[in-house]
Structure 1
Amino acid sequence: MNDEVIKLIKELLNSEGKLDCGTAFKISAKTGVDIAEVGKIAQEIGVRIDTCELGQFGKFKSEVANGDAKVFSALKPLIDEKKRVFCKDAREAAKGVGLKSVRATLKEHKIDVKYCELGCFKEKKGKKMVIKTKTWIENGSGELLFGKGKTEVLDVISQTGSIKAASEVLEMNYKKCWTHLKILQTNLNEELFETTQGGGKNAGTVLKPRAYELMNAYKQLEKDIEEFANKRFKELFLKKDK
């Protein structure tokens, strides 16, 4: 084993006697030892890895932050059929935007990470049963007013400043993207955005305060419902026999 790596691992343990993921990568960069080897050495000397920088375990798992449309656009081609992305690819996407943006994007889009570069896991095994929720808001006639799709369109427009750019990020037909917005405004009978035509620096689409208010309220509602559903699911379906 590499004595320098062992020395640094022991010197840089966190308050719980574990090696933070970010610290492991710094050790790898400093010593020139491959990150997988750093993880292997830590395991061999009985040191556990903590605080995954991609938010898969540790303190960042409960972090609250908004995802980034450009990060999602970069990750989308790399996501497999089970909504997973390689650890290495996710970290690569963080270059220039930061790991916090990647963590938030993974969490917001419920993208899992596979094949940890430190060897903490290959493919995380889920429970035999999981609860799924879907939240949308209708009017008295059963017409959709607000839901995940429309929220996502507004969110990406707020980041890109353009309906066209948003449709490209979401890989959605421009007409469909525009229709989402028209239906939303018509059903709510409120102006939610303003579009300036032309090719100047002021051209594009800007959301109005009410759009942000609705978008944030929906996200909070969705989060609250998911938390309650998960809690109740565990109580009813995953309770241990006494």
Structure 2
Amino acid sequence: MDLKDRILHLLDKYTDNKGRIDCTKAIAVAKRLKIEPSFVGKVASEFGIRIKNCELGQFGDKRIDSFDKKTYEALTVLADNNRIKCEDCWKVANRFGMVKVRSSIKNSNLEVIHCQLNCFKNKERPRLKAEVELFLKSKATKDKINDKAFEILKAVIELKNLKDTSCRLGVDEEVIIETIEKINKVFNAVCVKIEKDGRVTVYPLAGEILSKFEKLKKDIENFSKKRFVEIFYGDRKYKDIDKYYS
């Protein structure tokens, strides 16, 4: 029996009746045969066997817990521009456990790339695949999230306390809680967690979302200014735009 046959034999052993094999089992096949996981992924693809339930939470329904700061810091050491290879995530998992790694990735700004089983190369998590601009055009409209929601998010991030946020904005605490829950739901992750005693835990993703939103607002404002000058003042240099608004 050659290597490909041995791989296929083990894959068949763990494949369900829908022709799918769990990510963990596929990696286990590679370890058992002492070969690169990419070769297992290639054979699986060749014979129409699909990988399910990514251990790093990129697809499937693996359990997601809360963000873990130490695990996140260990991941960022190996990341490049917030992107980290699948293989490096598994190395960190050897120290902290896969659940902590998976949860810290899902609740942060990290993106997993170069799946060891060749399921993807540069795959962004669904909640960050689209920029906040797309988010505002679709999901935000559906869930009634607007500028006020991001104002609440910003205050919560800065103050890290429910009562203080309520006092600053003059908004009921229940409204703040509901707004944060909507934001978490839309981005399919826990960006901010509000405890029963009013204490607030802010995860890295919250800052990234707010940053994207503020950049988008600035871009829209600049575009509006340019269009205004273009329409009412003709062909003039845009560097003098601000004088028309003084």
Q: TM-score, normalised by structure 1?
A: 0.56
- Alignment correspondent of 1:84: 83
Partners in 2 of 1:93 and 1:45 — Cα distance?
Answer: 31
Which residue identity does 1:118 align to in structure 2? Answer: L
Q: Deviations over 1:26-51 (max 9, x none)?
A: 11111212211111111111111111
Note closer, same or farther for the CA distance 1:9–1:136 as it changes in structure 2 (3 Å cut). Answer: same
Note closer, same or farther for the CA distance 1:224–1:64 as it changes in structure 2 (3 Å cut). Answer: farther
Partners in 1 of 2:181 and 2:23 — Cα distance?
Answer: 27
- Alignment correspondent of 1:21: 23
Partners in 2 of 1:96 and 1:229 — Cα distance?
Answer: 28
Q: Output aligned runs, 1:111-122, within 5 Å.
A: 111-122=110-121
- Alignment correspondent of 2:13: 11
Instruction: Give the one of 135, 139, 158 matched to 1:131.
Output: 135
Note closer, same or farther for the CA distance 1:218–1:26 as it changes in structure 2 (3 Å cut). Answer: farther
- Alignment correspondent of 1:178: none
SS in 1 for 2:8: helix
In the alignment, structure 1 residue 225 sits paired with structure 2 residue 229? no
Instruction: Tell me how far 1:124 sits from its aligned partner.
Output: 2.3
Partners in 2 of 1:229 and 1:121 — Cα distance?
Answer: 21
Which residue identity does 2:183 align to in structure 1? Answer: I
Does structure 2 retain, via aligned residues, the 8 Å contact 1:65–1:104?
yes
SS in 1 for 2:135: coil
- Alignment correspondent of 1:146: 156
- Alignment correspondent of 2:74: 74
Q: Which protein is richer in helix relative to its size?
A: 2
SS in 2 for 1:36: helix
Note closer, same or farther for the CA distance 1:45–1:186 as it changes in structure 2 (3 Å cut). Answer: closer
Residues paired across the two proteins, number: 163
Which residue identity does 1:131 align to in structure 2? Answer: F
Partners in 2 of 1:104 and 1:3 — Cα distance?
Answer: 36
Note closer, same or farther for the CA distance 1:53–1:219 as it changes in structure 2 (3 Å cut). Answer: farther
In the alignment, structure 1 residue 99 sits paired with structure 2 residue 95? no
Note closer, same or farther for the CA distance 1:229–1:45 as it changes in structure 2 (3 Å cut). Answer: closer
Does structure 1 retain, via aligned residues, the 8 Å contact 2:22–2:53?
yes
Partners in 2 of 1:219 and 1:104 — Cα distance?
Answer: 22
Q: Deviations over 1:134-167 (max 9, x none)?
A: 74549xxxxx7521x665xxxxxxxxxxxxxxxx
CA RMSD of aligned residues (A): 3.4
Does structure 2 retain, via aligned residues, the 8 Å contact 1:19–1:50?
yes
SS in 2 for 1:56: coil
SS in 2 for 1:89: helix
Does structure 1 retain, via aligned residues, the 8 Å contact 2:152–2:176?
no
SS in 2 for 1:146: helix
What runs of 5+ residues in structure 1 fail to find an aligned partner? 139-143, 152-183, 189-213, 231-242
Q: Deviations over 1:140-198 (max 9, x none)?
A: xxxx7521x665xxxxxxxxxxxxxxxxxxxxxxxxxxxxxxxx69957xxxxxxxxxx
Does structure 1 retain, via aligned residues, the 8 Å contact 2:71–2:100?
yes
Partners in 2 of 1:20 and 1:68 — Cα distance?
Answer: 25
Partners in 1 of 2:46 and 2:99 — Cα distance?
Answer: 30
Which residue identity does 1:74 align to in structure 2? Answer: A
Identical amino acids, percent of aligned pairs: 28
Which residue identity does 1:121 align to in structure 2? Answer: F
What runs of 5+ residues in structure 2 fail to find an aligned partner? 137-144, 166-172, 189-246
Note closer, same or farther for the CA distance 1:74–1:229 as it changes in structure 2 (3 Å cut). Answer: closer
